[in-house]
Every structure is written in structure tokens, then in C-alpha cells.
A and B are shown apart, each in its own frame.
Chain A
Amino acid sequence: MVSFNLLWNIAVNGAWIVSLFGVLVYQPGKKKALLKREQASLISCGANALTTLSTPSKKSEIQGYTVLVANVVMSPSWIQLFGGWFRAFFGGRINTFSKLLEWARREAKQRLLEELEASDYDEVINVRFETTTLTKSKGSNDKTAGFEILIYGTAVKY
């Protein structure tokens, strides 16, 4: 059937155009919004709110503590995936993926900071990052790819 083939071609090519839109418009917009949130929380809780040290920065008595967890699942767009495979063929730095991972880590960190702001705790100590690849099914036609960034730490109150 000719009409079905035509529709199929439009759908597949349209998806690539949508993917281009994602890279050029959607993702930069999200990054810009993230930058604004980061600047806002830099003013409200300072640059030293998170630390990887296991001891609090102040020596005073600790009133309370809790574990705060934040996570984000990010996925590269089709164009970024294709570019990544293309670069992996020759080896070397895959810039699209490293940018995406950096963005996801910033997002996760920002979410932890916002959880800290929403609670009445002062500082998060012993912060740890975890990265996991999430793919749906290997070897199948399904190309959903994503990775999870997890950040957690102990929030303390002075």
C-alpha cells in the first residue's frame, strides 16, 4: 500500500525533525531554567551547603538529622545517540554524552539543594553520587536509552 508507506516515511522523518527540535530548542531551554534555579539557591543557601566530608563543618551540637535522596533519569535524544555511536566508532571524547551527563548531575544536585531548602535542615554531609545505565531491552529494536543519576546525603540541623 502506497499510502501506508508514505505515512510511515512521514512518521519516521518527522521523528528525526522532532529530535532536532529537542536538541536545539527543548534541551537548551531546560538548561537555562536550571541555571536560574541554581543561581537562586546559591543566594539562599550559599556555596557550602553540600559536602562530601563525613563530619559537619560546624562543631556545634547537632539537633537532628535525616537522609535526603534526589534522583533524575535523563535520556539522550535520537540525534545525540546517533552522534555518540558515530564518534564511538572512531574513539575519543564523545562531547554530546559528557554534556548530557554533566547536565543530569547538575539537575540532581539542584534537586537535593531544593529538598534541603524545603526542609529545616542546614547542611548535607557525606554526599555520594551514583550513576546507572537504564536501557529497556538489549538487542531488540527498541532504542529507549537512559541513565539515572542518584545523589544522597545526610542532612543535619545545628
Chain B
Amino acid sequence: MTMPFSNTETLPGSTIVQSHGVVTGSTVRAKNVFKDIGAGFKNIVGGELKAYTELLQESRNEALYRMCAEASQRGANAVVNVRFATSSVAGGAAELLAYGTAVTVE
């Protein structure tokens, strides 16, 4: 279920006829403990922690998916002004939030 979404205020080439309010999608995810240990070793030399980069990418996609699901539940057919927020809630786990305004476009 992918519906058109954009992080601009309007969707290019279409007009907004109705707003359905703010929709959010969030997910909390953690990598397994072996990847955590690997990241701890990589931390010695510094630089990119690839395991966490992938983890956040996957979870962000899931947050977007949930946001779109909520929007379609409300009868919208697009989401505009999408924003992302991230916070680390516990050891090795991060919360990914995607939010936007569900709208009906023509």
C-alpha cells in the first residue's frame, strides 16, 4: 500500500480538496546483540556504523508504511508535508516517527 506522499506543502500537479488531519506512523526497533557488539568494536576506530544505518533505514520505511495505512483508513489518497523524527529510547533501540497531513487530492 503506497500512496503518493511528499514533504512539500502541495503535491505537484494536483490540488488539495479536503484535509483529514495529522497522521502518524511510528516504530521502535533494535538490532540483534551480535550486531551491537560489532558496532561497539567499530566504535573504537570511529566512522560509519553500517548495521545501525541499515536498521534505521528499514524502520523508517516501516514508519512510512504505517503512516500511509492510517491515511488510507481515514479515506485520504495522499499525504503532504511529511516530516521525520528519530529518538533513541533504550539501549540499541530507536524510535522512528513519520508524520504528515492526510489529504484528498484531485
Q: Are B12 and A133 in contact (CB under 8 A)?
A: no
Given contacts A21-B45, A150-B86, contact A128 B7 (CB under 8 A): yes
Task: Write out, one digit per residue, whether chain B residues 49-89 have a CB within 8 A of any chain A CB (1) or not (0).
Answer: 11011001100100000000000000000000011111110
A residues 20-58 touching B (CB-CB < 8 Å)? 21-23, 26-27, 30, 54-56
**CA gap between A77 and B45 in the complex, in Å:** 5
Q: Are B83 and A128 in contact (CB under 8 A)?
A: yes
Q: Are B7 and A152 in contact (CB under 8 A)?
A: yes
Which residue on B lies nearest to A107, using beta carbons? B48
The interface residues of chain B, by DSSP majority, are classed as mixed
Given contacts A19-B45, A134-B94, contact A142 B40 (CB under 8 A): yes
B6 at the interface (CB under 8 A from A): yes
**CA gap between A140 and B60 in the complex, in Å:** 28
A1 at the interface (CB under 8 A from B): no
A residues 126-142 touching B (CB-CB < 8 Å)? 126, 128, 130, 132-137, 140, 142
B18 at the interface (CB under 8 A from A): no
Q: Are A134 and B88 in contact (CB under 8 A)?
A: yes
Count chain B residues whose beta carbon lies closer than 8 angstroms to a beta carbon of A.
Answer: 37
Binding site for B on A (CB under 8 A): 15, 18-19, 21-23, 26-27, 30, 54-56, 61-62, 65, 67, 69, 71-78, 80, 100, 107, 125-126, 128, 130, 132-137, 140, 142-146, 148, 150, 152-154, 156
Distance in Å: Cβ of A130 to nearest Cβ of chain B: 6
Task: Write out, one digit per residue, whether chain B residues 1-43 have a CB within 8 A of any chain A CB (1) or not (0).
Answer: 0001111110111000000000000000000000010011011
Residues of A near B8 (CB, < 8 A) are: 54-55, 125-126, 154
Residues of B near A65 (CB, < 8 A) are: 4, 6, 11-12
Q: Are A77 and B87 in contact (CB under 8 A)?
A: no
Given contacts A73-B53, A150-B86, contact A62 B43 (CB under 8 A): no
**CA gap between A56 and B56 in the complex, in Å:** 29
Given contacts A130-B84, A132-B87, contact A72 B48 (CB under 8 A): yes
